[in-house]
Amino acid sequence: MTIKTSLSVAALAAALGASAATAQQACPIKVGVLHSLSGTMAISETTLKDTMLMLIDQQNKKGGLLGCQIEPVVVDPASDWPLFAEKARELLTVDHVDVIFGAWTSVSRKSVLPVLEELDGLMFYPVQYEGEESSRNVFYTGAAPNQQAIPAVDYYLDELGIKKFALLGTDYVYPRTTNNILTAYLESKGIPESDIFVNYTPFGQSDWATIVSDVKALAADGEPVGVISTINGDANIGFYKELAAQGISADDMPVVAFSVGEEELSGLDTSNLVGHLAAWNYFMSADTPENEAFIQAWHDYIGDDARVTNDPMEAHYIGFNMWVNAVTQAGTTDVDAVIDAMVGQTFPNLTGGTAEMLPNHHLTKPVLIGEIRDDGQFDIISQTDPVAGDAWTDFLPESAVLESDWSKLHCGMYNTQTQTCVQLTSNY
Amino acid sequence: MTTAPVPALRRRPILADNPSVLWALLVLAIVTLGVTVLAEGAGAGVISTSFVKTLGKTLCLCLAAVAMDVVWGYCGILSLGHMAFFGIGGYAVGQWLMTARTYDIVAQSLAGQPLPPTPRELDQAVATQIFGVVGSDHFPWIWAFSHSLPLQLLMVVLVPGLLAGVFGWLAFRSRVTGVYLSILTQGMTLALSLWLFQNDSGLRGNNGLSGLQNIPGLEGWGQDRISIAFFWASALALGLGYLLFAWLTSGRRGSVIRAIRDDEARVRFLGYGVEGTKLLVFTLTAVVAAIAGALYYPQAGIINPGEVAPLASIYLAVWVAIGGRGRLYGAALGAALVSLMSSWFTGGGVPDIPLGIYTVQWTDWWTVLLGLAFVAVTLLAPKGLGGLFDLMPRAPSRRQGDWGPDDGAWRNEEGEP
Amino acid sequence: MRIVLALIAALWASMASAQTLQDLLQADPEAISDPSRRTVGEVLDRLVASGLPEVPTFLERWQAKEVVQRQSDGLFFYGTKEGGGHVLFDVSSGEEVGHSGPREVDELRPNAGVRGVIGSALIQFQLSDPDIARRQAALDAIAKDPAPEQLEPLRASLEGEDDPGVLARKERLENLLAARFEADPEARIAAIEALGSDITVEARAVLNQILSSEPRAADAIPAEANVAWKLTPGSDELPREAAYVMLVEAGLAPPRVTENAIRDALVAALAGGKVGDAPVATLGSDEARHAAYDAIAPARGLPPRISEEEVDAALGSHAFWQDYAEKDAAITGAAERALASAVTRVSLYQAADIALDAISLASIYFLAAIGLAITFGVMGVINMAHGEFIMMGAYTGYVVQTLVPDYTLSLILALPLAFAVTFAAGVAMERLVIRHLAHRPLETLLATFGISIALQQIAKNIFGTQARPLTSPSWLDGAWIVNDVLGIAYIRIAIFVLALLFLGLLLFILNRTRLGLEVRAVTQNPGMAASMGIDPDRIAMLTFGLGSGIAGIAGVAIGLYAKVTSEMGSDYIVQSFMTVVVGGVGNVWGTLAGASLIGILQKGIEWFNPSNTLAAQTYMILFIIAFIQFRPRGIVAMKGRAAGA
């Protein structure tokens, strides 16, 4: 309904301002898809490429955008971080795409950032990340730490009465930063540093026996222990297998994971993991008509009813639709106009409620906590009201004074104490 | 067999010993000029900035491959760790790039404050910017020289030189050779990459150093001109490196180096210092690889520990083998060809081949092709692509029969007949 | 106690006889549909106090996520899924009352915290329940969240307990509860002393709870304090800054003026480009700012800066100590003694546990590396594709498991099949590639690397990049648990046994068979062996096949305990090389020694530095590089002529 009206408004505007808009708008509109199709990250990112192709296909069937068809330009950065920058430059300067949807790992995003800022490109980043960043040229449709990690810890503290924490993560920036934020947050909640056990393991770690034993030993203090896992990718398989083997049930010692979703669980037998937790902004089991339609469309497109949907897919779904609406509203795909039109865009979530794009280029999203079921899906046991994404965390002293606002302050890193803009372009 | 008296070895000019050097430098010069004229920076715009960067990076890889060729194709040490030195060079230069750029940004933002910043505040603000992402707000010790470009450039040479020197001295002294040595060098690069992966090592862990393409002091230039500048610098480095190694492998020293490859024990019995020569070659090639890395990463824009993973060094050996061992132009050719073809095939620019029931997508099958091609080259054409040049007509050698035990690498006639 | 409860219940029931369970629930439906651990207690008290006989059943089914709420009228039912909707049952009678369509009812999913509280509320109903499962559930609830008021009902239920296992558990829990909550000090100390040799987590948890303490600071240690130990400012335990902060928080010392506060004060005092007498431009150093601050502080009423000497003086004139929450020194003393005796035993068991982990890791490395070691020894070649043979074995296991659904049978089939597949692949590779590169070990290394990347990519193209499940049969699930500290997963024991089997098998083949004799001959001197009528080509082919076949079996084993991906081979290949190089080439015992050394070393380093597994791996590789300097031919070096080969 809203799409329809805004479409007709746009058509009217285009008709009135005819020459200007049509002269600038070259058909077809090109959308770059920058997801790894080979290498270690292909496991997660290929699905997102397919999601984008599906969304573009749907939009073209609805009549395209500004009277143009949308043409996807898919490239493969092959899980090679420098290659992300190279491919982004190619997309912007050779293919002249109007927008890029892409990247998964933080390091790949950081690789693309300087190119986007230099060439004034536009990118939608769909994955939950560690925050501490706000670029004018990027819209972050995944969760910031306060939209995933902090609510999950609150759930531990309030609902499960956990007093002792084991933060296990893969050794890279997302777990490191998230754990730093969580440590600061827990200390502000009165948990002493000695009750927070932190461990980092390499990518693809497979020998978990000792670490799981160490975590088990934490319970000897008599305080309830909770595990917060930022373990990434296929290392999770060995980790959960070891948990099951050592008989750690969710009642004894719950594990909440921030990087384990439906897709990751599909490589596992979950019967021994029932009750362990994950925190996301979306679960496939969400019972809404929008979600049912989305899953149906996905299954039809991919031709396999066994395929699951996950949180980053929803992020692309929201991001793409917001972009379509912003372009329609601006009447052009010009990056500056679209960036202005993006802020304040709203679009219904798949889990109910409405997502809104904030001036700091993050979304408002509800936070869901799910318990693993034996069929590899999640029971949603807690759903918060929509939480506004916070680019700079409030729990680290040097970030607490920072603010990001691209519509009024025109600055992604504004120091509220000294009232100066620390920097306009990111320092990556 | 031959009864002719062996004439005393005398010094010949490098070019006479190695006529390919002139040709190689000429080709390099033509490519450099051609690319410059056609690039966006010069106005022609036939070659995009991103492709200029790709070509500049390829030249750096060629330089690393030439170094690899000297250590393997000439000296017979199959090092599976030379990309570690390449990476160290990149890290060393990246430290300065990040620090200097961030100092500019921070000084700018602090300038608006009522009080002039103290050095402590400045340092802390810079450190927060660089290390905030890994949750720290002070410079680790390893960044001690990062504020100074000359010192950091010295590190580009010094750190890999020292590491290679110490590693080589230990390994050669205890006569570790052959596959043992290969595996040890592989262990070295794995240890380095694991160490870099740790945040505690102070080099930003898996994030690595990023935004390296923004050169402090050259903000007004724009990437189109910076890319050309780096392309030129890479070409110059490749040219000089090529000359250096042509000189190193010529004359009597070159003969000794090749003799070590062919039969180490005999060289030792003949009274030459085998360990010293090996150490010299190992260290020198490590330093040159590091210089190549220092030029490569500002063009790539980001360096992270994955770059020094063991696989990268093996690929370096693959390039040299495909190009042809024991000839410098072969190594450069192999590196350029394979790395450019890799980016072409994986870039999705190559049309898929429909085979009826199955469509061959090159993004999926390129690695398979590369792997099998590599096996084929090793088996069927041990001289590699460089062997094609042997087919060119030239004056027949008076030497008959086999020249030595290693029939993989290209071999020189030792001394004048 | 029970009689009292029953009386109260009966009283309530008569008073509120008109109230049905549904009415009670509707009094505060939010508390049922959207409960929180912190607030659910109230509604539970109300339900329990109503004395309605159906309340325990309701609580159990609520806990089991079987209650639904109809959206139209907010009524609660028991619901079971049927088609798109639910079949609804009345909460009081349990009779079927109708159906609902899709999205007409909400399934209530109380979270784990709420379920725990419900479990606690159920304890009183379940402790003497005829169903043993319910009694055990009640005991679990007590163990999970011990509380003083549980002691009495638990003691009361001891009497009628007829199951010896449950009785023992009840007595144990009674002792644990008494140690923490018993009012009489004598009885409490006795209960604590009974825990002396108990190393279970439960028991140590109780002792640690009794011994909980916190740091304190005062002018002097007060007489009534129960001091755990004294603290020294400036030690690792209590850094100087932290100690001073404690004094400030206790109101015993003035807070220090931070650099930021100084800056803010100076900015506030800024007037006409000057702060006091100092021009702004000179304030670019800490010393200048301090001086300027000292100059303006008295006039503006700002707190003076605290010098380092003043800090030292303040720290010196106060006492710091760790203070027990429990004020009775006799009780904490008893708990300390009990815990000390447990801790010694726990650390012994911990060492044993690490040793088990190390042995397990060593057996995995051994399985992964032994095939490599044999081929290296016989032919002098390094097979870079060895890791991919491991991967092929694992994928074979996965494929078998998709075809044969029974996990035990599929495992029995997968092991020989994996051996056969990789044996064939190894022989093919030897015939097609390696044979033609004889005596060129470096080229062999690179050629096999080409095969390795090709195989890896082919696996990706066939199976995708997603990790594939390889599930162990249920008899390999779980762990062999000696006590709460010492235990090891069955799957790891199985891998250990497998490694032992192959060790024995290889020793037998090499030392007791004709083939072994020929292999050893070729290893020592191929030329001489050939002139004795042994066909070195055939031997090379067979050993290569054997080595690859074992890699395939190792793949199944690794896939069972970790994961099956196309890149799993590369995770093990460098470690396998290291194992072979450290152990010494071409010798089964050497490989065993190498694998043990690396496994033990890695676990040892992890033990000293438990928070950084990555560092452990780095140090291990550095150690190996250093080790090779001293024993370039490995731990078990070949002697005589073979050493030169």
Residues A260-275 have pLDDT tens digits of 888 888 767 787 788 8
Flag if C615 and B379 touch (Cβ within 8 Å): no
- Percent of residues, chain B, with pLDDT higher than 70: 88
> A274 with A338, same domain?
no
Predicted confidence at residue C444, as pLDDT, reads 87
- Examine the pLDDT at B322 and tell me if it is beyond 60: yes
Length of chain A: 428
Predicted confidence at residue B216, as pLDDT, reads 87
Q: Report yes or no: A35 at the B interface, CB cutoff 8 Å.
A: no
**Which residues in chain C are closer than 8 Å to B174, comparing Cβ atoms?**
628-630, 632
DSSP 8-state code for residue B362: H
Query: Average pLDDT of A229-236?
Result: 84
Q: Report yes or no: C436 at the B interface, CB cutoff 8 Å.
A: yes
Contact partners of B by the rule of 3+ C-beta pairs under 8 A? A, C
What are the tokens at C446? 């690179």
Count how many domains chain B has: 1
- Examine the pLDDT at B1 and tell me if it is beyond 50: no
Q: Which of A351-365, B29-43, B50-64, B381-395 has the least mean pLDDT? A: B381-395
Predicted confidence at residue B37, as pLDDT, reads 85
Which of C379, C442, C619 to mutate: most B Cβ within 10 Å? C442
Q: Which of A198-207, A363-372, B237-246, C441-450 has the least mean pLDDT? A: A198-207
Q: Which of B28-32, C28-32, C418-422 has the least mean pLDDT? A: C28-32
> A93 with A10, same domain?
yes
Q: What is the pLDDT of residues C520-552, one digit of tens each?
A: 888 888 888 889 888 888 888 998 999 999 999
> A189 with A299, same domain?
no
B206 near A107, Cβ under 8 Å? yes
Q: Which residues pair with A226 in a beta bridge?
A: A165
Residue A260's Cβ-side half-sphere holds a number of Cα atoms within 13 Å equal to 32
B394 domain-assigned: no
Q: Which of A65-69, B19-23, B397-401 has the least mean pLDDT? A: B397-401
Residue C592's Cβ-side half-sphere holds a number of Cα atoms within 13 Å equal to 12
B319 domain-assigned: yes
A403 domain-assigned: no
Q: Which of residues 315-344 of A touch B (CB under 8 A)?
A: none
Count how many domains chain A has: 2
A406 domain-assigned: no
> A200 with A268, same domain?
yes
B340 domain-assigned: yes
> A356 with A327, same domain?
yes
Predicted confidence at residue C277, as pLDDT, reads 81
Which one, of C516, C500, C530, C532, lies nearest residue C586 by Cα? Answer: C516
A271 domain-assigned: yes
Query: Average pLDDT of C628-632?
Result: 77
A293 near A322, Cβ under 8 Å? no
The C-alpha of B310 sits at a distance from chain A's nearest C-alpha, in angstroms, of: 15
Q: What is the pLDDT of residues A93-148, one digit of tens each?
A: 888 999 999 999 888 998 899 899 989 999 999 999 888 888 999 999 999 989 99
Which of A213, A240, A290 to mutate: most C Cβ within 10 Å? A213
Predicted confidence at residue C127, as pLDDT, reads 84
Interatomic CA distance for residues B135 and B19, integer angstroms = 56
Structural domain including A150 reads 146-285+370-388
Q: Report yes or no: B183 at the C interface, CB cutoff 8 Å.
A: yes
Q: Which of residues 232-291 of B touch C (CB under 8 A)?
A: none
Order of all β-strands in the sheet with A402-405: A402-405, A411-415, A420-421
Predicted confidence at residue B239, as pLDDT, reads 95
Q: Which of A205-209, A364-368, C388-392 has the least mean pLDDT? A: A205-209
Predicted confidence at residue B417, as pLDDT, reads 35
**Which residues in chain A are closer than 8 Å to B133, comparing Cβ atoms?**
110, 130, 132, 173, 177
What are the tokens at C374? 């044999």
B403 domain-assigned: no
Query: Average pLDDT of B341-369?
Result: 76
DSSP, collapsed to helix, strand or coil, labels residue C377 as helix
**Which residues in chain C are closer than 8 Å to B198, comparing Cβ atoms?**
612, 614-615, 618
Q: Average pLDDT of chain B?
A: 84
B230 near C644, Cβ under 8 Å? no
> A193 with A272, same domain?
yes
Tokens 């090679």 belong to A80
B8 domain-assigned: no
| pTM for the full predicted model | 0.85
Q: What is the pLDDT of residues B193-239, one digit of tens each?
A: 888 888 778 888 888 898 888 888 887 888 888 999 999 999 999 99
Which of A381, A383, A401, A418 to mutate: most C Cβ within 10 Å? A381
- Examine the pLDDT at C59 and tell me if it is beyond 70: yes
Q: Report yes or no: B49 at the A interface, CB cutoff 8 Å.
A: yes
Flag if A238 and C562 touch (Cβ within 8 Å): yes
Interatomic CA distance for residues A56 and B40, integer angstroms = 32
A90 domain-assigned: yes
Amino acid symbol at B249 = T
**Which residues in chain A are closer than 8 Å to C195, comparing Cβ atoms?**
none
B9 domain-assigned: no
Interatomic CA distance for residues C469 and C479, integer angstroms = 20
Q: Report yes or no: B207 at the A interface, CB cutoff 8 Å.
A: yes
Using CB atoms, which residue from C36, C38, C469 is nearest to A267?
C469
**Which residues in chain C are closer than 8 Å to A416, comparing Cβ atoms?**
none
Using CB atoms, which residue from C283, C461, C614 is nearest to B198?
C614
Q: Which of A274-278, B413-417, C243-247 has the least mean pLDDT? A: B413-417
Q: How many CB pairs under 8 A join A and C?
A: 155
**Which range among A32-46, A240-254, C58-72 has the greatest average pLDDT?**
C58-72
Using CB atoms, which residue from C289, C445, C614 is nearest to B194?
C614
> A195 with A334, same domain?
no
What are the tokens at C56? 């325990």
- Examine the pLDDT at C420 and tell me if it is beyond 90: yes
Q: What is the pLDDT of residues C221-242, one digit of tens each?
A: 888 888 888 888 888 888 888 8
- Examine the pLDDT at C140 and tell me if it is beyond 50: yes
Q: Which of A306-320, C17-31, C79-93, C157-171 has the least mean pLDDT? A: C17-31
Structural domain including B49 reads 17-389
Predicted confidence at residue A287, as pLDDT, reads 86
What is the band of A177 on the pLDDT scale with cuts at 50, 70, 90? confident
Phi, psi at A402, each rounded to 5°: -95, 155
**Which residues in chain B are closer than 8 Å to C289, comparing Cβ atoms?**
115, 118
B398 domain-assigned: no
Order of all β-strands in the sheet with C85-89: C96-100, C85-89, C76-82, C67-70, C105-107
Q: How far is CA A149 from the centre of its chain?
A: 12
Query: Average pLDDT of B254-269?
Result: 89
Residue in chain C closest to B185 (alpha carbons) equals C625
**For the CA atoms of A267, A273, A277, A279, what is the dihedral angle to 10 degrees?**
0
A426 domain-assigned: no
Residue B387: other Cβ atoms inside 10 A: 16
DSSP 8-state code for residue A386: P
Interatomic CA distance for residues B164 and C85, integer angstroms = 71
- Examine the pLDDT at B116 and tell me if it is beyond 60: yes
- Examine the pLDDT at C26 and tell me if it is beyond 50: yes
Interatomic CA distance for residues B384 and C447, integer angstroms = 13
Contact partners of C by the rule of 3+ C-beta pairs under 8 A? A, B
Predicted confidence at residue B361, as pLDDT, reads 75
Predicted confidence at residue C454, as pLDDT, reads 92
The C-alpha of B107 sits at a distance from chain A's nearest C-alpha, in angstroms, of: 10
> A260 with A375, same domain?
yes
Using CB atoms, which residue from C284, C437, C581 is nearest to B378?
C437
What are the tokens at C391? 């991967």
- Examine the pLDDT at C617 and tell me if it is beyond 80: no
- Examine the pLDDT at C7 and tell me if it is beyond 60: no
Predicted confidence at residue A315, as pLDDT, reads 95
Tell me, what's the ipTM? 0.84
A351 domain-assigned: yes
- Percent of residues, chain A, with pLDDT higher than 90: 43
DSSP 8-state code for residue A371: E
Predicted confidence at residue C415, as pLDDT, reads 93
Which of B136, B302, B303 to mutate: most A Cβ within 10 Å? B302
Q: CATH code at A277? A: 3.40.50.2300
Residue B383: other Cβ atoms inside 10 A: 21
**Which residues in chain A are closer than 8 Å to B105, comparing Cβ atoms?**
422-423, 427
> A245 with A351, same domain?
no
> A129 with A7, same domain?
yes
What are the tokens at A365? 């999203």
Residue in chain B closest to C376 (alpha carbons) equals B179
Phi, psi at C189, each rounded to 5°: -60, -40
> A128 with A15, same domain?
yes
Tell me the three-class secondary structure of C73-102, residue by residue.
Answer: CCCEEEEEEECCEEEEECCCCCCEEEEECC
- Percent of residues, chain C, with pLDDT higher than 70: 95
A197 near A257, Cβ under 8 Å? no
A399 domain-assigned: no
> A281 with A157, same domain?
yes
What is the band of A357 on the pLDDT scale with cuts at 50, 70, 90? very high
Domains of chain C from N-terminus onward: 2-117 (no CATH), 127-210 (no CATH), 213-324 (no CATH), 346-644 (1.10.3470)
Interatomic CA distance for residues A348 and B347, integer angstroms = 36
Q: Report yes or no: A27 at the C interface, CB cutoff 8 Å.
A: no
Q: Average pLDDT of chain C?
A: 85
**Which residues in chain C are closer than 8 Å to A246, comparing Cβ atoms?**
479, 487, 489
Q: Which of B108-117, B286-295, C593-602 has the least mean pLDDT? A: B108-117
Using CB atoms, which residue from A93, A110, A418 is nearest to B210?
A110
Length of chain C: 645
Flag if C618 and B194 touch (Cβ within 8 Å): yes
A106 domain-assigned: yes
- Percent of residues, chain A, with pLDDT higher than 70: 93
**Which range among A184-198, B30-44, B337-351 has the greatest average pLDDT?**
A184-198
- Examine the pLDDT at C611 and tell me if it is beyond 70: no
